[in-house]
Amino acid sequence: MFHSYHAAFLVEAPKTKVAKALARIAEDTPGAVYRGIAKPKPEHVVSVSFYTRCCKWLDEASFTVVPVEHDRGSSYIMAYAESTNFCCSWCPSCIRSCFACCDFDDWGKNEAHIRAIVDGLKYATTELHAERGGDADDLRALFDRSSKAAYTYRGISDNTTTATATTSASATASAASNSSLSSSS
């Protein structure tokens, strides 16, 4: 069960323009409540809350916009969204606290929230990473911050990539040997 979603995007525009565009899109998105932009150096963090129409489930999203290391005309967006509780926001807090430790699924809502905001950008945007589950630290682990307060996307570690490639290669070899065995019989 997953109740969070994180994604990374490369945008061909400076971080200030991207953050302002994200804020404008959030203000115009139905069901979204724009919470403001925080500007800790070198980041711009756009915060948005989403409420479902009937039950008023609360989902929180943050879009952290940072400059790209070797291209100051481009930015990365580190987008993270999570559902806050299994219960509706109008539920009494004593009941909400009983369900705070329950594992639940967001039925893809957090991904839809992030996509609704990012897809509204008029700048060229490339998705670098997207994954259900995890937390904001998992997203930040995909980036290296330089001493110049700019970021480099490094993606998933080489160990994971190597392990996946090795598994795929052995699966292909296994499938090839199985097909040769079945054709010889």
Using DSSP, how many helices (H) and how many strands (E) does the chain show? 5, 8
- Are 182 and 103 in contact, with CB atoms under 8 Å apart? no
Domains of the chain: which residue ranges?
Answer: 4-154, 157-185
Among 81-85, 132-136, 149-153, 164-168, which stretch is predicted with the lowest mean pLDDT? 164-168
For 133, the token pair is: 């589950």
Find where tokens 């909400």 sit.
96
Residue type, 3: H
Q: Is the dihedral of CA 75, 65, 153, 109 positive or negative?
A: negative
Q: What is the pLDDT at residue 85?
A: 58
pTM check: above 0.75: no
* Percent of the chain topping pLDDT 70: 65
CA-to-CA dists, residue 49 to 34, 68, 89, 122, angstroms:
7, 27, 12, 22
Q: How many residues does the chain have?
A: 185
- Angle formed at CA 152 by CA 150 and CA 156, multiple of 5 degrees: 150
Nearest 5°: phi and psi at 113? -60, -50
Q: What is the pLDDT at residue 124?
A: 93
Give tens-digit pLDDT for 50-100. 877 666 667 889 999 999 988 879 999 999 888 765 555 556 666 656 665
Rounded CA separation 55/99 (Å): 16
Q: Which CATH superfamily is domain 4-154 in?
A: Sirohaem synthase, central domain (3.30.160.110)
- How, if at all, do strands 44-51 and 58-68 pair? antiparallel
> C-alpha 93: how far from its chain's center?
28
Cβ burial of 60 (10 Å; 0-12, 13-18, 19+) is: middle
Q: Which residue has the higher pLDDT, 18 or 141?
A: 18
